[in-house]
Structure 1
C-alpha cells in the first residue's frame, strides 16, 4: 500500500534515473542505492524492510507545520514537501530492522546549496523527533560551534511550534525561551553550542548539525556522535553547503558518504546525498544549476541565480561564494583522481602473476614504508594490447590493529594485504617476493623511491635485481597519471580487483600546478592511504616511457637467477 509521499519519492527516483530531473553524479548514485536496496530480499545479510507507514509519517507531520519566513509565511501557508524532500525523508525513516523495527539509518548527510529550505526541513524534523517519534526522554539538539548558529534551526522550530496550537494541545509541546519540552514523555529540545557550554552527559536521540562545513574542529560532531550510544535508534542529521576546508570534519563526512555511494565502503547505517554540479560543467551555464539546486524554480529563483552568476563572472572575489553557496562546489578541495565506477569496470577478479606468459616483459613499482603506511609492490605487464596490474600490499600487525579502517583486518584475512609480525613492516618478506618474481618472470625494471629504501635497494642491486631510482615528484608523475587514467577510461587496463587497492584509488586526489600543469598524486588525510597507487604509477610510468626496454635486462647484463 502506498500513499502520496511514497508516490512522490518514487516519482522523484524515476525522474532522476530517466534524466527528467537534472541530477549530478552523487545524486544519481544516492537514488540508485535506494532503488537497489528496495530490490533486496530480507535475510541474514540484509535484515531490513521498507515500512511505507513509517516512511510517510514524518512527511505527514512536516506538512502540518507552517512556513515562518518570507512570502509563504505572510500568506499563512503550510509546508508542502517537494518530491526530492519526500524522497529524502521517506528513505531515511522508512527502513527498519525486520525483527526489532528499529530504524536502519543512524546518520544522515545532506549537502545542498543555500535557499533550498535546509533549515525548514531540519527544524520540522527536530520537532517530529521531539514529539511524534515515540521516544521517551528524547533529547533533541540543534548543535553548532557558536550559540547564534545553534539557534538558527532551534528558533525556526520554536516559531513553528508557536504558530501551531495543535502541537501544544494534542502533543503536549511547551515552548520556552531556551528550550521546547514535552512533559508527559520527559523530552526536551535545546540549542547546543560549543562556546560556554558543557558538552558532557548528553543522551542524544536526534541532533541537527547545521552548516557542518563551518566547524573548524570536530569537537561538536564527535561529542554528539558518541552521545548516541545509549539510544536504540538515535539519528545524527548533518545538513550543510559546501565549504573550503578539506581537512575539516565536514569534508571527512562528505568523503565517507561519496565512498558509500560508490560502493567502496559498506555502511548501511549512513544515508547521504550531495546536490552539486558535475565535474566539467560550466558554472555559468543555467542548464546545470538545477543539478545543484533541487528547489530550483521554487525557493531558488532563476533571476536571483542569474544575478549571482553575473556577479561571479565580473568579480573574481565573488566567484568562490557563488560556487560554494549556490552550486555546492568545494573550492579548495582537489578533485578525486578517478571515478570509482571506471576503476571497478576494468577489474578482473582472479588475475595473478601466475598468468604472465613466459618471456613477457614485466615492470614493477615499489613504494616502501615501515610503520604506519603500507609498503606496496605493483607488477605490470602487457598482453594483446591490454595492460595488466597486480598489487601486493604489506603492513605490520600493529598498524593493522591501530588503523581506523574497519575493513583492514578483513582484507588481511582474505589475503589482500600481507601482514608482517611486530610494529615495523618486515622488508625481508617484500624482498623474498621480489626475488621470486624476478626468477619467474622477465622483469625489466623495478622502479623505487630512494627516500625510504636506499639501503634496502642497495642490497638488492648487489644481488642483481634491476632497480631504478624514481624521485616521487610531479615531473615524473604527470605522464603516468594521465596515461593510467586514459587506459582505465578506454578499458585498456585490467587489475586484480584488490579491495584495499580500490580503497587507495578512492583516496587519491591529483594536484595540478597552476603554472605548468604538472600533476602530483596525493591524499587529503593521513589515514587515506595511497601507497598502492603510487607503486602502480611508478611501474606503469616506466613501462610506458619511450625508453622502456623490450628485452630482458638480465640478457643485456649477462645475468641469470638460479
Structure 2
C-alpha cells in the first residue's frame, strides 16, 4: 500500500515534466467517485435504512487512481488493468458493482459491453446481482441513461450497450469495454482474462477490473497477476498501464496477534467488525485445520507462497546509475556466468570488489543477458514473453539467432570485454558453463567451475543479504538483474543453511545465481589460509583499499 501511494505521488511530480506521458485529472476522478456514492446499498443494515454508498478513503484512492490518470496526448484513460486484492467482508461486491455500472452507463462509451466474469454462475452473480439491484433502486439513473432492466442483463437499447454475466472460458467474439473479474484466485487458467483482454482491441479505453482475495493456488493466473503487480510497485518491472494494491499483513507480523487484523482489513470497523475477526482468529489458533482459511480470507496471505529472500527495498536503495565499467579498470573483477539452459536466459554478471574500511564492497556493473530469438517470441512461458520483448526493445537483452543461445558468442563477448577489465576469475556453473571454459582458459584467463551445492551458496547468500542491508552491494539498476534478485527464495536446510531457489519456473534467478557464484569465490579468496591477513590478499590481487 505504501508503494502504491508512493507511485501515485511520484507520478504527480513526474507529470509536470514534458516527457512524462500521463497526467492526473481530479475532476474525472471525482466524477467516478460521486457516481458510485449516488448508488444505494443492497445488503445489510445500510440497505434496510436505504442509505447511499459512502466510500472510505482507501476506496476513493483506488477509484481515483484507476479512473483519474489519463494520457496527455489524447485524454484517454491510462490504466487498462486495475487489481485490488482485499480480504473478505471489505466491500468488494459493492465496489465491483459500482465500477461495472460506471463503465456501462457513465463512461461515454457508445455500445459499451460490460461483463461480470467468474468460474461459476453463482460467483458471477455476486457482482451482477447487486449492480442490477442498484439500478432497480435508482429510477432517476435508469431513466436518464435509458436502461432496460432484464432478469439476467442490463441494456441501453439506444446504443446497444449491455451488462451481463459470463461464466468459465468465454467464446471469442465479445468486444468488452470492461470486464469485472471477481475472486480471480478461484480461476484455474487465465482463459477468461486473456479472452477479455484480447477482445478489447477495438476499445479506446477498456478496463479489466480484478477484485479478489488471496488463495491457495500459487500456480494459478491470479498469483501470476499479483506477482506482476508486486514487481510493478517495487519498480523491478515497470508497467505504466497496470494499477494495483494489496492489503495484507507484513512479513514478520504475528498472525495470531489481534493488532494485525486492522492492517489487512481496510474496512475494519466499517463493514467488517473487530469482534467477528477476533473470533475467527481465535478459532484458527485453536484449530489448525482452520488456519489456512483464516490466513487467506481475512489476512490475505497466499498460504502456499514463499517470501523473497532478499529485501528489495534495500536492494533499490543500493542502486547507483552512475556506475560505469571504466571506473573499475584497476579493480579485480569476477565475470560470472550462469548458462545452465541453452534455450532459456543466460546471465553474465561483472562483479568488481573493493575493500572500504575493512569491509568488502561489491559492484555489479553492466550485466549482460542472452536469449534465443525463438524464446523471446515463441516461448512457452507466456508470463515473461512480453517483458522479454520490452527488454529487447530497450537494448537490455542480447538475442541469439534461432532456438539456442550461442555460447561461442557469449565467450567472445567475455574475451573482448576482458581487454578493458582486470579479470581475476570467470566462475561458471557446472551444468552449462564448461562449454565456454576452454576458450577462457586458452586466452590466458582462469575459469572456475562452481558446484551448485549448499556449501557453495549458503555463505554467499548470507553475505549478499548482509551486503545489501548495509549498503555494501552496489549495482547500476539493471532491471533484469533486479527482477531476478527479487525472484530468489531460499531452500532452507539443516543448521539454517540457505540455497537459492525460485517459486515458479518463469521467475528466473540466473543473474542472481551468477552473482552469488562471484561472491562465493571472493569470500574463498579472502579467507585463503595461505594468505593469513587481508593485507597480503590485497597486495597479491590488487584490490583497491579505501
What TM-score, normalized by structure 2, do the two folds share? 0.88
544-553 or 177-186, larger mean C-alpha shift: 544-553
Query: What is the alpha-carbon distance in structure 2 between the residues aligned to residue 410 and residue 332 of structure 1?
Result: 30
Using the TM superposition, give the Cα deviation of residue 236 of structure 1 relative to its aligned residue in structure 2, in angstroms.
0.6
1:387 aligned to 2:366? Answer: no
1:291-370 pair list within 5 angstroms: 291-356=263-328, 358=330, 361-368=332-339, 369-370=341-342
Is the contact made by 1:334 and 1:509 (CA closer than 8 Å) also made in structure 2? Answer: no
Using the TM superposition, give the Cα deviation of residue 128 of structure 1 relative to its aligned residue in structure 2, in angstroms.
2.0
Is the contact made by 1:143 and 1:220 (CA closer than 8 Å) also made in structure 2? Answer: yes
1:290 aligned to 2:262? Answer: yes
Residue in 2 aligned with 1:513? 492
Partner residue of 1:38 out of 7, 12, 18: 12
Query: What is the alpha-carbon distance in structure 1 between the residues aligned to residue 55 and residue 242 of structure 2?
Result: 23
Using the TM superposition, give the Cα deviation of residue 204 of structure 1 relative to its aligned residue in structure 2, in angstroms.
0.2
Cα distance change of structure 1 residues 48 and 363 upon mapping to structure 2, 3 Å threshold: closer
Residue in 2 aligned with 1:277? 249
Cα distance change of structure 1 residues 362 and 39 upon mapping to structure 2, 3 Å threshold: closer
Deviations 1:340-375 (A, max 9, x none): 3322211233434543464x5544432114222223
Cα distance change of structure 1 residues 81 and 393 upon mapping to structure 2, 3 Å threshold: same
Residue in 2 aligned with 1:81? 55
482-491 or 516-525, larger mean C-alpha shift: 516-525
Using the TM superposition, give the Cα deviation of residue 458 of structure 1 relative to its aligned residue in structure 2, in angstroms.
5.0
Residue in 2 aligned with 1:476? 456
39-48 or 207-216, larger mean C-alpha shift: 39-48
Deviations 1:55-97 (A, max 9, x none): 1122222122221112222222221111111111122111223
Cα distance change of structure 1 residues 484 and 123 upon mapping to structure 2, 3 Å threshold: same
Is the contact made by 1:395 and 1:419 (CA closer than 8 Å) also made in structure 2? Answer: yes
Is the contact made by 2:408 and 2:436 (CA closer than 8 Å) also made in structure 1? Answer: no
Residue in 2 aligned with 1:205? 177
1:541 aligned to 2:515? Answer: no
Residue in 2 aligned with 1:7? none
Cα distance change of structure 1 residues 262 and 426 upon mapping to structure 2, 3 Å threshold: same
Unpaired runs of at least 5, structure 2: 542-546
1:432-443 pair list within 5 angstroms: 432-435=412-415, 443=423
1:43-442 pair list within 5 angstroms: 45-194=19-168, 198-356=170-328, 358=330, 361-368=332-339, 369-384=341-356, 385=359, 386-390=361-365, 391-402=367-378, 404-406=384-386, 408=388, 411=391, 416-435=396-415
Is the contact made by 1:444 and 1:552 (CA closer than 8 Å) also made in structure 2? Answer: no
Using the TM superposition, give the Cα deviation of residue 462 of structure 1 relative to its aligned residue in structure 2, in angstroms.
6.3
Using the TM superposition, give the Cα deviation of residue 528 of structure 1 relative to its aligned residue in structure 2, in angstroms.
3.0
> SS state of the match for residue 452, structure 1?
coil
Query: What is the alpha-carbon distance in structure 1 between the residues aligned to residue 55 and residue 76 of structure 2?
Result: 25
Residue in 2 aligned with 1:18? none
CA RMSD after TM alignment: 2.7
29-38 or 114-123, larger mean C-alpha shift: 29-38
Is the contact made by 1:542 and 1:548 (CA closer than 8 Å) also made in structure 2? Answer: no
Using the TM superposition, give the Cα deviation of residue 211 of structure 1 relative to its aligned residue in structure 2, in angstroms.
0.6
1:528 aligned to 2:503? Answer: no
Unpaired runs of at least 5, structure 1: 1-26, 557-562
Instruction: Count matched residues.
Output: 525
Using the TM superposition, give the Cα deviation of residue 436 of structure 1 relative to its aligned residue in structure 2, in angstroms.
5.8
Query: What is the alpha-carbon distance in structure 2 between the residues aligned to residue 353 and residue 96 of structure 1?
Result: 39
Query: What is the alpha-carbon distance in structure 2 between the residues aligned to residue 53 and residue 462 of structure 1?
Result: 68
> SS state of the match for residue 39, structure 1?
helix
Residue in 2 aligned with 1:15? none
Using the TM superposition, give the Cα deviation of residue 455 of structure 1 relative to its aligned residue in structure 2, in angstroms.
4.3
Query: What is the alpha-carbon distance in structure 2 between the residues aligned to residue 441 and residue 166 of structure 1?
Result: 74
Deviations 1:273-322 (A, max 9, x none): 11111111111223322221111111121111111111121211111111
Cα distance change of structure 1 residues 104 and 361 upon mapping to structure 2, 3 Å threshold: closer
Cα distance change of structure 1 residues 143 and 402 upon mapping to structure 2, 3 Å threshold: same
Deviations 1:514-559 (A, max 9, x none): 7654333233444432211110011102212477446789x99xxx
> SS state of the match for residue 10, structure 2?
helix
> SS state of the match for residue 20, structure 2?
coil
Cα distance change of structure 1 residues 412 and 50 upon mapping to structure 2, 3 Å threshold: closer
Query: What is the alpha-carbon distance in structure 2 between the residues aligned to residue 291 and residue 480 of structure 1?
Result: 35
Cα distance change of structure 1 residues 107 and 410 upon mapping to structure 2, 3 Å threshold: closer
Query: What is the alpha-carbon distance in structure 1 between the residues aligned to residue 49 and residue 495 of structure 2?
Result: 57
Cα distance change of structure 1 residues 402 and 332 upon mapping to structure 2, 3 Å threshold: same
Is the contact made by 1:135 and 1:185 (CA closer than 8 Å) also made in structure 2? Answer: no
Query: What is the alpha-carbon distance in structure 1 between the residues aligned to residue 204 and residue 428 of structure 2?
Result: 51
Deviations 1:154-183 (A, max 9, x none): 112122222222233332222222111122
